[in-house]
């Protein structure tokens, strides 16, 4: 058991203990006056037990059923030629891990919060969809794809600052000889690691057999400080450390786009207030609202000759529906296939997921010095990944800090514990924000919104990205980042596009 796993076992309580000894306490644990709103989908899954014996109240026929209203499911729906489809999403709203929450009549991210501009070697189908959605356009002057709504770009000087064990630093990975050597080592991969990841040439498959740590350790005289910084970055985007993820995933992280040390090739950073829910909303503009069914949990798939018979629970009205569909695109998390369609589960049984907790703090007009878009935080508690400040995204109505925690894949039940102990993680987050700014911000909080994401992010460990998976069988196609892809918007989108192609041809 490594230190990261150990720290998380107590579901937040140990995190507090671990930090108490090493960091200055700004305030004692106390009862807050502000309300805390908790959002967890876990209980919905448990409704299935009662649904199994319920009579069917409605039979619906459709050509294509899309399971899941995240980026992958909606991209699939946007790519369908016929309008004869329905999307079932178990949540009360669409978005999945690219979801948002309404605070004071504005939307704020409650998950994925940014994307970067797309180089010309990225897959055409994904670029075409983004163009069709009016999100990007090609600039022939600059010879690159650019975001259309420039107001959502984060200015370079406001991008990030980092609190590293008590000191403020401009970047996580400091400029050093070692950093230079790492990028020299990676030169051989120039233009070789695009998105979607399915475009990576098979000649690099051997990099999926070892961990990123073993790869770096083989070629560089790495130091513990350097690895700590690399691990922080990888946790922030992939949910795992260099010892957990493959060299293929690790190199992709640094080679997918020009990395920030190359000032001349600065990559646009796009982060609207609502985060990647922006993309969800753009997709919904292309989808008829009558095709979308929120609060609809798909819990059984059965093949009957050349159609699919699907059990669905309407969780709002507690009624059971039966959907008869020619095609099914399954873009929900694959761990649930154990129950939904056990025959397909072995294709994904190797996938492990990291659980995340996202907390939005609505603040009053507090003045905060040194605030940046992304406020990274490195400390003895590796679960806390820092926070994003809406002020830098030009929020006009409310000031919101969005805090991110990621826990190890082996302890996904950690987030379940927060259903009872969420005050502890709210306290922990405020304490760390206090350390970042050097002052207690808790008295400026108007409300806290805690979102628990159980099986949130697939971990790209060795073997995950190159495993051969049967992604279509008898008009049942699988989409989602957990089909062997990296947990990134472009890969999620492409997985939906490909699933649609797979069932049509
Ligand atoms: C906290 C966090 C931050 C992230 N930040 C970024 C970021 O900044 N940029 C980035 O590119 N990526 C980010 N990611 C990765 C992000 O997950 C992907 O970019 C993408 O949103 C994944 O989309 P998806 O459709 O594959 O999966 P999901 O978003 O997980 O969508 C799956 C959907 O299926 C639904 N569902 C599941 N089972 C059923 C069922 N049985 N019946 C009906 N519905 C069902 C779920 O409720 C969910 O809405 C982040 C991930 C997390 C967890």
Q: pLDDT tens-digit profile of 266-288?
A: 799 999 999 999 999 999 999 99
* pLDDT over 50 at 393, yes or no: yes
Q: How many angstroms is it from 456 CA to the middle of ligand 1?
A: 7
Q: For 460-476, how does the pLDDT look when each residue is reduced to its tens digit (9 = 90+)?
A: 999 999 999 999 999 99
User: What's the pLDDT band for 396 if we cut at 50, 70, 90?
Assistant: confident
Query: Which atom, in ligand 1's list, is nearest to the CA of 354?
Result: 53
Q: How many angstroms is it from 133 CA to the middle of ligand 1?
A: 19
Handedness of CA 426, 428, 430, 432 (dihedral sign): negative
Q: Judge whether 315 and 299 are in contact, CB under 8 Å.
A: no
Atom 5, ligand 1: which residue's CA is nearest? 112
Q: What is the pLDDT of residue 413?
A: 73
Q: What is the pLDDT of residue 264?
A: 57
What length is written for the chain? 505
Q: How many angstroms is it from 455 CA to the middle of ligand 1?
A: 9
Question: Chain centroid to CA 103: how far?
Answer: 21
Q: What is the pLDDT of residue 265?
A: 63
Helix (H) or strand (E) holding 216: helix 212-219
User: What's the pLDDT band for 9 if we cut at 50, 70, 90?
Assistant: very low
Q: Judge whether 429 and 25 are in contact, CB under 8 Å.
A: no
Query: Which atom, in ligand 1's list, is nearest to the CA of 91?
Result: 47
Q: For 331-346, how does the pLDDT look when each residue is reduced to its tens digit (9 = 90+)?
A: 999 999 999 999 999 9
Q: Judge whether 471 and 477 are in contact, CB under 8 Å.
A: yes
* pLDDT over 50 at 98, yes or no: yes
Q: Judge whether 393 and 158 are in contact, CB under 8 Å.
A: no
Task: Ligand 1 pocket test: pick from 77, 111, 315, 460 the residue with the most ligand atoms within 8 Å of its Cβ.
Answer: 111
* pLDDT over 90 at 373, yes or no: yes
Q: Which domains does the chain have, with CATH numbers?
A: 3-31+352-458 (no CATH), 50-111+275-351+466-496 (3.50.50.60), 117-153+173-270 (no CATH)
Q: What is the pLDDT of residue 365?
A: 87
In this structure, the residues whose C-beta lies within 6 A of any atom of ligand 1 are 67-73, 88-91, 96-98, 111-115, 276, 297-298, 331-333, 336, 340, 356, 358, 404, 453, 456-457, 480-481, 487-489, 492
What's the mean pLDDT when you consider all of the chain?
A: 91
* pLDDT over 90 at 18, yes or no: no
Q: How many angstroms is it from 479 CA to the middle of ligand 1?
A: 11
Q: How many angstroms is it from 457 CA to the middle of ligand 1?
A: 7
Q: How many angstroms is it from 202 CA to the middle of ligand 1?
A: 27
Atom 15, ligand 1: which residue's CA is nearest? 487
Task: Ligand 1 pocket test: pick from 72, 88, 90, 97 the residue with the most ligand atoms within 8 Å of its Cβ.
Answer: 97
Q: d(Cα 74, Cα 331) in Å, to the nearest integer?
A: 9
Q: How many angstroms is it from 444 CA to the middle of ligand 1?
A: 31
Q: Judge whether 141 and 491 are in contact, CB under 8 Å.
A: no
- b (16+ CB within 10 A) / e for 99-134: bbbebeebbbbbbbbbbbbbbeebbebbbebbeebe
Q: Is 155 helix (H, G, I), strand (E, B) or coil?
A: coil
Helical axes 247-255 vs 224-238, angle rounded to 10°: 80
User: What's the pLDDT band for 412 if we cut at 50, 70, 90?
Assistant: low
* pLDDT over 90 at 143, yes or no: no
Q: How many angstroms is it from 348 CA to the middle of ligand 1?
A: 16
Q: How many angstroms is it from 366 CA to the middle of ligand 1?
A: 32
Q: For 213-236, how does the pLDDT look when each residue is reduced to its tens digit (9 = 90+)?
A: 999 999 999 999 999 999 999 999
Q: d(Cα 353, Cα 78) in Å, to the nearest integer?
A: 27
């Amino acid at each position: 058991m490594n230190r990261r796993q150990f720290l998380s076992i107590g579901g937040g309580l140990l995190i507090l203990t671990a930090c108490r000894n090493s960091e200055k306490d700004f305030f004692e644990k106390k009862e807050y006056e502000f309300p805390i709103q908790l959002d967890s989908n876990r209980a919905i899954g448990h409704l299935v037990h009662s649904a199994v014996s319920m009579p069917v109240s409605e039979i619906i026929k459709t050509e294509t059923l899309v399971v899941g209203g995240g980026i992958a499911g909606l991209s699939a729906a946007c790519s369908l030629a016929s309008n004869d489809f329905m999307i079932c999403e178990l949540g009360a709203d669409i978005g999945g891990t690219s979801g948002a929450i309404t605070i004071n009549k504005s939307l704020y991210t409650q998950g994925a919060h940014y994307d970067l501009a797309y180089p010309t070697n990225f897959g055409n189908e994904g670029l075409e969809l983004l163009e069709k959605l009016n999100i990007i356009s090609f600039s022939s002057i600059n010879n690159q794809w650019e975001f259309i709504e420039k107001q959502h770009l984060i200015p370079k000087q406001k991008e990030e600052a980092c609190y590293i064990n008590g000191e403020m630093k401009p970047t996580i990975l400091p400029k050093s000889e070692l950093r230079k050597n790492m990028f020299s080592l990676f030169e051989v991969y120039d233009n070789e690691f695009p998105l979607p990841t399915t475009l990576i040439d098979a000649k690099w498959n051997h990099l999926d057999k070892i961990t990123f740590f073993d790869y770096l350790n083989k070629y560089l005289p790495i130091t513990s400080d350097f690895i700590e910084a690399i691990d922080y970055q990888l946790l922030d985007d992939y949910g795992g450390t260099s010892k957990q993820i493959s060299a293929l995933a690790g190199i992709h992280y640094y080679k997918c786009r020009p990395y920030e040390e190359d000032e001349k090739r600065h990559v646009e950073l796009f982060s609207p207030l609502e985060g990647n829910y922006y993309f969800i909303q753009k997709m919904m503009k292309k989808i008829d609202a009558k095709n979308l069914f929120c609060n609809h949990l798909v819990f059984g798939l059965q093949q009957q000759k050349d159609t699919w018979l699907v059990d669905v629970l309407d969780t709002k009205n507690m009624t059971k529906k039966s959907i008869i569909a020619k095609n099914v695109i399954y873009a929900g998390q694959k761990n649930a296939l154990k129950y939904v369609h056990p025959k397909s589960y072995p294709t994904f049984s190797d996938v492990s997921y990291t659980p995340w907790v996202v907390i939005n703090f609505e603040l009053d007009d507090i003045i905060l010095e040194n605030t940046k878009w992304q406020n990274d935080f490195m400390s003895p508690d590796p679960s806390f990944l820092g926070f994003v400040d809406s002020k830098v995204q030009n929020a006009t109505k409310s000031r919101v800090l969005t805090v991110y925690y990621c826990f190890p894949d082996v302890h996904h039940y950690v987030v379940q514990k927060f259903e009872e102990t969420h005050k502890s993680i709210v306290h922990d987050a405020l304490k760390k924000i206090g350390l970042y700014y050097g002052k207690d911000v808790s008295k400026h909080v108007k409300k806290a919104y805690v979102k628990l994401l159980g099986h949130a992010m697939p971990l790209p460990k060795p073997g995950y990205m190159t495993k051969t998976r049967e992604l279509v069988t008898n008009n049942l196609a699988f989409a989602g980042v957990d089909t062997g892809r990296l947990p990134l918007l472009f890969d999620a989108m492409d997985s939906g596009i490909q699933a649609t192609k797979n069932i049509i041809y």
